[in-house]
Structure 1
Amino acid sequence: MHIPVLLPILALLVPSQHARGQSLTFPFKIPDEAHGQRRMRLIPQPQGSPHQSPLSLVASDETTDPISRAELAFSALQIWYNGGTGLWDTSGWWNSANVMTMVTNLAKHDSENDRLVDLAKRIFANTIVQAPAKNPQPGVENGKRSNAEVLAELEAEPEEEEIEEMAWGGEEVEEEPWKRDSKKRKKKRNATILLKPEPKISGYNKSHGIDGEVYSIYPVGWETNEYVDVKKLPINQPGRLAAVDTPNPEDWLDGFYDDDLWWALAWIGAYDVTGTQEYLQLAEGLFAAVTKSWPTRCGGGGIFWSWEETYMNAIANELFLSTAAHLANRADNKDFYVDWARRELDWFVNSGMINERGTINDGLTEDCQNNNQTTWSYNQGVILGGLVELSRADPSAASSYVSLATRTAKAAIDELSDENGVLHDRCGPYCGGDASQFKGIFARNLMLLHAEAPDDMFAQFIRINADSIWANDRDDGDRLSINWAGPYVPVANATTHGSAMDALVAALTV
């Protein structure tokens, strides 16, 4: 019989500059007969903490029970949650959206643990109010016109040569077809950079290293947080959970469309757990903002990575597909979202980003060819969840969607797993703050595919990775690091921990 872990609800209320020095864990105990021999250690509470309590027990457990593992890991995760910012310290802006999505999945699959579900709901209610102040680049998308609108206007304009001939009264000369086509391509390329909003220089940017790994660069001082009176946090105000203020999607937009859509999916997950309409409305608003980036200069479709519109990559487009498909199954205007998901999928499968091995490279070159950059695990994962959701929203083609997802998942497992079946990214085990998140995203979406189309290969993969994380990638405080195969690489942070927890949560379903 599973005995639920008592989770530290008050831990989320402690904002700090250094999460480990300020956050609290609370006593819990699982009988030895339920989970075998345990190791226990005592952690003193920090001096000056707003919540003074007796010494806390942090358990490092040899349990094989998937639920207990996930609950223990969730308890450890909360040392990083900063109530003042609504984010997890040591984790970036978009990473925190992924951690929250993991929490939504844990709450769904461990729904009998009332205290855990209550904690999850409190996190959502707090984050929706506190997090926008930490947006690393607010306002950059405000006022952006739709690319489709700009293109339509330019298509209606006469060519430059026609304007010149009219001005000078010259005679019209028939132009060779290849020149006309070249001008049209140039016009579309120019249109994608026309009428963009003026940049608001914040210091937030993303760049690729020599090996293709993406690195987020945050504004100076972004990690520093002012101390907040916990009694004034929204989560501590009476009735707050029952009355969420209507959020403004523009508060969450930062100019990188993948970031916007990570948050959209997180709020869809929060809606699934709570039924709070404001969460779903926020996700719809974020998606609507990102549609303005459609189309790119390649193939008449797709979205760009960012407001700068210089790169077309897999992750932004997979997230666009997944968000549209998720909304199709939840929002009122189902046909609208199904249409967007179909259009994105049609463009994506014809874009060339899917290679001959069946895995997905990072993006496209300037001339719209596969750039042959790294097959990151998250690029193999997000599309799985999107296709599963689309199969439910569009049952007429469900088998083709699930078939594509299954082929992609199996190709990724074959390509990215070691001889023991443990998942790795190319940069491991010393990935940066962005790539440290990737593997969990694959595990999370494989969980969705396995639930829709059970497969022994998927179940075995999920179990192997969850077992390896718990046995080889965990410290004495149940904090999880980046090297799922082991050995443990110090020190864990909220990104590595949340990513590994995605695999532990996936193990609840197999």
Structure 2
Amino acid sequence: MYPSAFLQSLLLLSVPYIPNAFAQSLYDSVTDPTKRAEFALSTLQIWYNAGTGLWDTAGWWNSANVMTMIANLAQSDPNNAQLQNLATRVFANTLLQAPAKNPQPGVENEAKRRRDVDPGNGTFTLLLNDTGTESGYSKSLNPGGIHEPITTFPTDWDADDGQYVDIQSLPSFASESKDAATQAALATSPNPEDWLDGFYDDDLWWALAWVGAYDVTQNIEYLQLAEGIFGEVTKAWPTRCGNGGIFWSWKKDYMNAIANELFLSTAAHLANRAENKDTYIEWAELTLKWFLNSGMINEQGTINDGLTEGCENNGYATWSYNQGVILGGLVELNKAAPNETYLPLAAKIAKAAITELSDDNGVIHDGCEPGCGGDGNQFKGIFMRNLQLLHQVAPDDVFADSIRTNADNIWMNNRDEEQGNTLSVVWSGPFVSPANASTHSSAMDALVAAISL
């Protein structure tokens, strides 16, 4: 664990002390969704590595999702000054520290330079490999069974996990006020290229994280950073299928759902916040049209992982996050450019996903459980986060019941008090040890979603 992060959780987000002898009964008796989420945040922040700006035991893109979850929690409890202080300082510190942890910086710029020499037969990849910009960071689908996404990091990428850094020595925490901390972080204009790693879904997770930071703080620089990241990803359009969409990565070897759903969602989020609204609406509408024509939505109304080289649905697993991101995208697009088809489409996908992914008790599962890797651990929370966005604008008992059922099961059946009230991957229980920042933050997405019910 990370000692200074533990101190941070005590200093910046105080919670009542519950003696161990009574912890089981007292924690079980907590029914208020906000208190549950804020208890869980105190545990989560033990993993926050102030020196790297990321959460130990979580990957690069996972940390972007953790930040988004914290932004959503902060928005749900705006009068909690300690929570607002913590969230604001985390955003500022992550802005300063995390770019140094980018697992593969520069590869997208090299890809753009080499694009003109690609005849479509692999020369592009060979040339890029020869430049030395690849770091060993890669993503692939496990070839066996359900094709679970797997992320591989460069050697020693996490070598500084757990190293002690005095929080008070860092600008974002040394500043007396959270506003001063933010200004220290923004003293040098944020550079979108700091957040690009060659995998466009990663890039867009970070764009949405900075949108969340903007929503909490109203600091325009965060929004501009999100715009800059999105602008870089637009250069990846189109794929070889249907003259549209974006690839999973600079390697141009897979066209999948998550990258394109994120492209749609980021464009729609920006349309409701940035000045050039029409441009973002156009990108979102263009992406939605391509996505609906791609065939990735199957006959059951759920979304498979991606397309074959022949541009057909590959029939791979219907991961929960692929059912979720599009919901938030459709909600934001309907807000920016109302269309009578958007919310009904979102509701249809959401209900199909709840039916397919829920067990007999209504708890959501992914097919990789209980042994999900670093990617799969994060998926279900993303679904809950976006289901809550849909429920806010199109209330439905099916959505509310799913959110409430999953949040209650997490709290009662998927929490280990002997390990500090950590939350693991199987929300119905039993607890799978050890938990980590990805499993914990993903479960917290459901706890945060329940606050609005």
Q: TM-score w.r.t. structure 1 length?
A: 0.81
- Residue 254 of structure 2 aligns to a residue in which SS? coil
Q: Deviations over 1:327-386 (max 9, x none)?
A: 000011001000000110000000010000000000000111100000000000000000
Matches within 5 A, 1:249-264: 249-264=192-207
- Counterparts in 2 of 1:470 and 1:407: CA distance versus 1, 3 Å: same
Q: Deviations over 1:237-288 (max 9, x none)?
A: 4323235131111111000000000000000000000001111111011101
Matches within 5 A, 1:389-400: 389-395=332-338, 397=339, 399-400=340-341
Which of 462, 469, 487 matches 2:410?
A: 469
**Letter paired with 1:429:** P
Contact kept in structure 2, 1:271 and 1:280, CA below 8 Å:
yes
Q: Which residue of 2 aligns with 1:23?
A: 6
Matches within 5 A, 1:426-445: 426-445=367-386
The whole-number CA distance in structure 2 between the counterparts of 1:199 and 1:386 is: 36
- Counterparts in 2 of 1:471 and 1:409: CA distance versus 1, 3 Å: same
Q: Deviations over 1:123-170 (max 9, x none)?
A: 0010000000000011101254399x959xx9xxxxxxxxxxxxxxxx
- Counterparts in 2 of 1:201 and 1:190: CA distance versus 1, 3 Å: closer
Q: Which residue of 2 aligns with 1:278?
A: 221
> Is residue 314 of structure 1 aligned with residue 257 of structure 2?
yes
- Counterparts in 2 of 1:454 and 1:499: CA distance versus 1, 3 Å: same
Contact kept in structure 1, 2:3 and 2:164, CA below 8 Å:
no
The whole-number CA distance in structure 2 between the counterparts of 1:429 and 1:277 is: 41
CA RMSD, 1 decimal? 2.5
The whole-number CA distance in structure 2 between the counterparts of 1:39 and 1:388 is: 40
Q: Which residue of 2 aligns with 1:130?
A: 97
Q: Which residue of 2 aligns with 1:333?
A: 276
The whole-number CA distance in structure 1 between the counterparts of 2:140 and 2:127 is: 24
Contact kept in structure 2, 1:203 and 1:218, CA below 8 Å:
yes
The whole-number CA distance in structure 1 between the counterparts of 2:260 and 2:112 is: 19
The whole-number CA distance in structure 2 between the counterparts of 1:356 and 1:21 is: 51
Q: Which residue of 2 aligns with 1:11?
A: none
Contact kept in structure 1, 2:89 and 2:181, CA below 8 Å:
no
> Is residue 450 of structure 1 aligned with residue 400 of structure 2?
no
Which of 156, 160, 168 matches 1:231?
A: 168
Q: Which residue of 2 aligns with 1:293?
A: 236
Q: Percent identity?
A: 62
Q: Which residue of 2 aligns with 1:178?
A: none
Q: TM-score w.r.t. structure 2 length?
A: 0.91
Q: Which residue of 2 aligns with 1:46?
A: none
**Letter paired with 1:443:** M
Contact kept in structure 2, 1:192 and 1:296, CA below 8 Å:
no
- Residue 140 of structure 2 aligns to a residue in which SS? strand
Q: Which residue of 2 aligns with 1:166?
A: none
> Is residue 357 of structure 1 aligned with residue 300 of structure 2?
yes
- Residue 206 of structure 1 aligns to a residue in which SS? strand
The whole-number CA distance in structure 1 between the counterparts of 2:278 and 2:125 is: 30
The whole-number CA distance in structure 1 between the counterparts of 2:111 and 2:429 is: 46
The whole-number CA distance in structure 1 between the counterparts of 2:435 and 2:202 is: 23
Contact kept in structure 2, 1:144 and 1:195, CA below 8 Å:
no
Which of 414, 417, 421 matches 2:362?
A: 421
The whole-number CA distance in structure 2 between the counterparts of 1:144 and 1:215 is: 22
- Residue 310 of structure 2 aligns to a residue in which SS? coil
Mark the structure with the bigger radius of gyration.
1
- Counterparts in 2 of 1:442 and 1:129: CA distance versus 1, 3 Å: same
- Residue 79 of structure 1 aligns to a residue in which SS? helix
The whole-number CA distance in structure 1 between the counterparts of 2:243 and 2:128 is: 19
Q: Which residue of 2 aligns with 1:222?
A: 157
Contact kept in structure 1, 2:4 and 2:165, CA below 8 Å:
no
> Is residue 41 of structure 1 aligned with residue 20 of structure 2?
yes
Q: Which residue of 2 aligns with 1:502?
A: 445
- Counterparts in 2 of 1:194 and 1:345: CA distance versus 1, 3 Å: farther
Which of 44, 53, 58 matches 1:86?
A: 53
Matches within 5 A, 1:127-206: 127-145=94-112, 198=131, 200-206=133-139
The whole-number CA distance in structure 2 between the counterparts of 1:281 and 1:103 is: 20
The whole-number CA distance in structure 2 between the counterparts of 1:98 and 1:222 is: 19
Question: In the TM superposition, what is the alpha-carbon distance from 1:207 to its structure 2 partner?
Answer: 1.5
Q: Deviations over 1:86-129 (max 9, x none)?
A: 00001000000000000000000011211111100000010000
Contact kept in structure 1, 2:91 and 2:213, CA below 8 Å:
yes
**Letter paired with 1:228:** V
Question: In the TM superposition, what is the alpha-carbon distance from 1:233 to its structure 2 partner?
Answer: 1.1
Structure having the larger proportion of residues in helix = 2
Question: In the TM superposition, what is the alpha-carbon distance from 1:41 to its structure 2 partner?
Answer: 2.3
The whole-number CA distance in structure 2 between the counterparts of 1:330 and 1:146 is: 31
- Residue 139 of structure 2 aligns to a residue in which SS? strand
Question: In the TM superposition, what is the alpha-carbon distance from 1:192 to its structure 2 partner?
Answer: 8.3
- Counterparts in 2 of 1:20 and 1:227: CA distance versus 1, 3 Å: closer
Contact kept in structure 2, 1:466 and 1:504, CA below 8 Å:
yes
Structure 1 runs not aligned, ≥5 long:
1-17, 31-37, 43-58, 155-186
**Letter paired with 2:48:** Y
Contact kept in structure 2, 1:146 and 1:292, CA below 8 Å:
no
The whole-number CA distance in structure 1 between the counterparts of 2:112 and 2:157 is: 29
The whole-number CA distance in structure 1 between the counterparts of 2:452 and 2:121 is: 46
The whole-number CA distance in structure 2 between the counterparts of 1:448 and 1:265 is: 14
Contact kept in structure 2, 1:192 and 1:309, CA below 8 Å:
no
